[in-house]
A = this chain, B = another copy of it.
Amino acid sequence: MNCFKIKLKNMEAFKQELTDKIQLLKKKGVVLTTPRLIILEFLVSNRIHPTAEEIFNALKKKYPSISQASIYNTIKLFVKLGIVSELFVEKERARYDINTTPHAHFKCLKCGKVYDVKKPLPQMEEIEGHQVALTQIYFYGTCNECLKKAKRRE
Protein backbone atom coordinates (compact mmCIF):
# COMPACT_ATOMS: atom_id res chain seq x y z
CA MET A 1 0.00 0.00 0.00
CA ASN A 2 0.95 3.65 0.24
CA CYS A 3 1.53 3.78 -3.48
CA PHE A 4 0.60 7.45 -3.59
CA LYS A 5 2.68 10.27 -2.16
CA ILE A 6 1.35 11.38 1.18
CA LYS A 7 2.76 13.93 3.56
CA LEU A 8 4.33 12.09 6.51
CA LYS A 9 2.39 13.99 9.13
CA ASN A 10 -0.85 12.84 7.53
CA MET A 11 0.28 9.24 7.23
CA GLU A 12 -1.40 8.07 10.42
CA ALA A 13 -4.70 9.72 9.56
CA PHE A 14 -4.52 8.25 6.08
CA LYS A 15 -3.85 4.72 7.36
CA GLN A 16 -6.68 5.06 9.85
CA GLU A 17 -9.18 6.27 7.27
CA LEU A 18 -8.23 3.53 4.82
CA THR A 19 -8.58 0.90 7.56
CA ASP A 20 -11.94 2.33 8.59
CA LYS A 21 -13.27 2.27 5.05
CA ILE A 22 -12.03 -1.29 4.49
CA GLN A 23 -13.73 -2.40 7.71
CA LEU A 24 -16.92 -0.72 6.51
CA LEU A 25 -16.76 -2.60 3.19
CA LYS A 26 -16.23 -5.89 5.04
CA LYS A 27 -19.15 -5.16 7.34
CA LYS A 28 -21.34 -4.55 4.32
CA GLY A 29 -20.30 -7.93 2.92
CA VAL A 30 -18.41 -6.49 -0.02
CA VAL A 31 -15.79 -8.77 -1.59
CA LEU A 32 -12.39 -7.09 -1.24
CA THR A 33 -10.95 -7.35 -4.72
CA THR A 34 -7.79 -5.68 -5.96
CA PRO A 35 -9.56 -3.01 -8.04
CA ARG A 36 -11.78 -2.07 -5.11
CA LEU A 37 -8.84 -1.79 -2.74
CA ILE A 38 -6.63 0.26 -5.02
CA ILE A 39 -9.47 2.58 -6.04
CA LEU A 40 -10.32 3.09 -2.39
CA GLU A 41 -6.67 3.80 -1.57
CA PHE A 42 -6.44 6.23 -4.46
CA LEU A 43 -9.51 8.14 -3.33
CA VAL A 44 -8.39 8.28 0.30
CA SER A 45 -4.93 9.58 -0.61
CA ASN A 46 -5.87 11.87 -3.51
CA ARG A 47 -8.37 14.49 -2.47
CA ILE A 48 -8.63 16.00 -5.92
CA HIS A 49 -12.26 15.09 -6.70
CA PRO A 50 -11.13 12.93 -9.62
CA THR A 51 -13.18 11.85 -12.61
CA ALA A 52 -13.48 8.17 -13.51
CA GLU A 53 -10.95 8.77 -16.26
CA GLU A 54 -8.45 10.37 -13.87
CA ILE A 55 -8.75 7.41 -11.52
CA PHE A 56 -8.27 5.02 -14.43
CA ASN A 57 -5.20 6.83 -15.78
CA ALA A 58 -3.58 7.04 -12.36
CA LEU A 59 -4.19 3.39 -11.52
CA LYS A 60 -3.24 1.74 -14.78
CA LYS A 61 0.36 2.89 -14.23
CA LYS A 62 0.74 0.56 -11.25
CA TYR A 63 -1.92 -1.93 -12.24
CA PRO A 64 -1.85 -2.08 -16.06
CA SER A 65 -4.50 -4.76 -16.36
CA ILE A 66 -7.26 -2.68 -14.74
CA SER A 67 -10.16 -1.81 -17.01
CA GLN A 68 -12.45 1.18 -17.32
CA ALA A 69 -15.41 -1.09 -16.61
CA SER A 70 -13.94 -1.95 -13.20
CA ILE A 71 -13.46 1.71 -12.39
CA TYR A 72 -17.06 2.51 -13.27
CA ASN A 73 -18.45 -0.60 -11.56
CA THR A 74 -16.46 0.04 -8.40
CA ILE A 75 -17.28 3.73 -8.16
CA LYS A 76 -20.95 3.02 -8.76
CA LEU A 77 -20.82 0.47 -5.94
CA PHE A 78 -19.06 2.90 -3.60
CA VAL A 79 -21.65 5.59 -4.37
CA LYS A 80 -24.48 3.13 -3.71
CA LEU A 81 -22.87 2.08 -0.43
CA GLY A 82 -22.53 5.73 0.52
CA ILE A 83 -18.77 5.74 0.99
CA VAL A 84 -18.17 8.07 -1.98
CA SER A 85 -20.11 11.15 -3.12
CA GLU A 86 -20.82 11.80 -6.75
CA LEU A 87 -20.39 15.44 -7.74
CA PHE A 88 -22.14 17.01 -10.73
CA VAL A 89 -19.95 20.06 -10.55
CA GLU A 90 -19.53 20.15 -14.31
CA LYS A 91 -21.59 19.01 -17.24
CA GLU A 92 -18.90 17.02 -18.97
CA ARG A 93 -18.44 14.22 -16.45
CA ALA A 94 -18.99 13.17 -12.84
CA ARG A 95 -16.37 13.73 -10.13
CA TYR A 96 -15.94 11.67 -6.98
CA ASP A 97 -15.23 12.57 -3.36
CA ILE A 98 -14.36 10.12 -0.61
CA ASN A 99 -15.42 12.77 1.91
CA THR A 100 -19.13 12.08 2.34
CA THR A 101 -19.72 14.51 5.20
CA PRO A 102 -21.99 17.30 3.92
CA HIS A 103 -19.91 20.09 2.44
CA ALA A 104 -20.04 22.43 -0.52
CA HIS A 105 -17.63 22.62 -3.46
CA PHE A 106 -16.02 25.46 -5.32
CA LYS A 107 -14.97 25.04 -8.94
CA CYS A 108 -12.52 27.52 -10.44
CA LEU A 109 -13.59 28.51 -13.94
CA LYS A 110 -10.00 29.59 -14.72
CA CYS A 111 -7.88 26.59 -13.65
CA GLY A 112 -10.63 24.00 -13.33
CA LYS A 113 -9.63 22.90 -9.84
CA VAL A 114 -12.40 21.75 -7.47
CA TYR A 115 -12.04 22.80 -3.83
CA ASP A 116 -13.81 21.61 -0.71
CA VAL A 117 -15.62 24.38 1.15
CA LYS A 118 -14.84 23.82 4.82
CA LYS A 119 -17.30 26.37 6.20
CA PRO A 120 -20.41 24.50 7.33
CA LEU A 121 -23.52 25.55 5.45
CA PRO A 122 -27.04 25.30 6.82
CA GLN A 123 -28.65 21.90 6.36
CA MET A 124 -32.34 21.42 5.71
CA GLU A 125 -34.44 18.30 6.12
CA GLU A 126 -37.48 19.81 4.46
CA ILE A 127 -37.99 22.57 1.93
CA GLU A 128 -41.30 23.83 0.59
CA GLY A 129 -42.99 20.55 1.46
CA HIS A 130 -40.32 18.36 -0.13
CA GLN A 131 -38.35 15.91 2.01
CA VAL A 132 -34.63 16.53 1.55
CA ALA A 133 -32.25 13.56 1.67
CA LEU A 134 -29.20 15.16 0.07
CA THR A 135 -28.01 18.68 -0.65
CA GLN A 136 -25.39 19.64 -3.21
CA ILE A 137 -23.97 23.15 -3.27
CA TYR A 138 -21.58 24.26 -5.99
CA PHE A 139 -19.86 27.63 -6.21
CA TYR A 140 -18.22 28.72 -9.46
CA GLY A 141 -15.80 31.59 -9.99
CA THR A 142 -12.10 32.38 -9.62
CA CYS A 143 -10.11 30.58 -6.92
CA ASN A 144 -7.73 32.39 -4.57
CA GLU A 145 -4.67 30.97 -6.36
CA CYS A 146 -5.84 32.35 -9.71
CA LEU A 147 -6.75 35.66 -8.06
CA LYS A 148 -3.18 35.91 -6.64
CA LYS A 149 -1.65 35.07 -10.01
CA ALA A 150 -3.75 37.76 -11.69
CA LYS A 151 -2.69 40.34 -9.08
CA ARG A 152 1.01 39.48 -9.50
CA ARG A 153 0.76 40.12 -13.24
CA GLU A 154 -0.64 43.61 -12.75
Interface residues of A (CB under 8 A from B): 86, 88-91, 94, 104, 106, 108-109, 115, 117-119, 124, 127-144, 147
CB distance from A141 to the nearest CB of B (A): 4
The answer to whether B143 touches A139 (Cβ under 8 A) is no
Additional 19 contacts, C-beta under 8 A, given A119-B127, A132-B139: A86-B91, A88-B89, A88-B138, A106-B130, A108-B130, A115-B128, A115-B130, A118-B128, A127-B139, A129-B147, A131-B141, A131-B147, A133-B140, A134-B140, A134-B141, A135-B138, A135-B139, A136-B138, A136-B140
**A133 nearest in chain B by CB position:** B141
Contacts of A118 in B (CB 8 A): 128
Q: A86-B91, A91-B88 are in contact. Are A127 and B140 (CB under 8 A)?
A: no
Given A91-B94, A136-B138, A137-B136: A117 touches B127 (CB 8 Å cut-off): yes
* Cβ-defined contact, B115 with A143, below 8 A: no
Contacts of A117 in B (CB 8 A): 127-128
8 CB-based A-B contacts, threshold 8 Å: A88-B90, A91-B94, A108-B130, A119-B128, A127-B139, A132-B141, A135-B137, A135-B138
A108 cross-chain contacts in B, Cβ below 8 A = 130
